[in-house]
Amino acid sequence: MKQLLKQNAVFITLSLMLFVALGLAILCIPKGELHLLLCNHHTPARDIFFRYYTQIAEYLPYIVCCLLLLFGRTGDGAMATACVAGAELTTQIVKHIVNAPRPVTWFATHMPDVQLPLVEGVKIHHWFSFPSGHTTSFFALFFVLSIIVTQNLTGTGNAGLTAKRYDSASGMTGVAGLLQASFFVLAAIGGYSRIYLSQHFAADVMGGIGVGLTISCIAYAVFARQRDKKWYNYRLFTKK
């Protein structure tokens, strides 16, 4: 796990900073006011962008998992699949236990005079708000991609490689860090899209970040022990 934290320090640090920032905002600003502060920035261009960008979480994780299983190392594909499936399952279980109201339902009860800025063509949900499933998928997907890409760029995904060798691996750590930052931005935009579209509150997005990161770490811990196994490094359609 220490190796995971060291290799993916950029993605993890940025994600934790966002997690803490959302937590502080939730503590300091009333729920309704915070949501309006974050979601009330609509323009026609942003409406189109976030309407379609948020849908990436509904299909891209499964496409990526299939591509990794078919054209990457079997172990990487299995880890990504376990990460995405585990995150989705955990989210659905928590959603149905908590059964929290979505913004449109909450505002109708607590601030009925407020008209939320909604986007035409987006189906608004009313319940099962916490945590945000889309945010969970975004962070689970891009974190596991950060792990896999970093391992492949620096050579740390090779069987038997020690953390010490990572420090001197191929001069690619800077590139890996830049890609991790890019992955974080893509995940964060996905999380914000849920607030922008008034499908979730900031707390729901915060919960999604937490679930996505946690399940990814668990998946890594399980599969990292298998990296020296033949099945993990097997490639179905490409040469080793």
Name all domains of the chain by residue range, CATH numbers in brackets: 2-21+46-233 (1.20.144)
Confidence band, pLDDT 50/70/90 cuts, at residue 160: very low
pLDDT at res. 171: 55
Is there a contact between 205 and 194 (Cβ–Cβ < 8 Å)? Answer: yes
Q: Which residue has the higher pLDDT, 154 or 137?
A: 137
Nearest to 188 by CA among 164, 218, 208: 208
**Confidence band, pLDDT 50/70/90 cuts, at residue 3:** confident
pLDDT score at 172: 63
Q: Each residue of 95-151: pLDDT tens digit? A: 999 999 999 999 999 999 999 999 999 999 999 999 999 999 999 999 999 999 998
Determine phi and psi for 42, rounding to 5 degrees. -85, 140
SS3 letters for the chain? CHHHHHHCHHHHHHHHHHHHHHHHHHHHCCHHHHHHHHHCCCCHHHHHHHHHHCCHHHHHHHHHHHHHHHHCEHHHHHHHHHHHHHHHHHHHHHHHHHCCCCHHHHHHHHCCCCCCCCCCCCCCCCCCCCCCHHHHHHHHHHHHHHHHHHHHHHCCCCCCCCHHHHHCCCCCHHHHHHHHHHHHHHHHHHHHHHHHCCCCCHHHHHHHHHHHHHHHHHHHHHHHCCCCCHHHHCECCCCC
pTM, whole model, 2 decimals?
0.91
For the cut 70, the answer to whether the pLDDT of residue 222 exceeds it is yes
For residue 157, what pLDDT band results from cuts at 50, 70 and 90?
A: low
Q: HSE (CB half, 13 Å, CA atoms) of 235?
A: 7
Cα torsion 220, 223, 227, 232: sign = negative
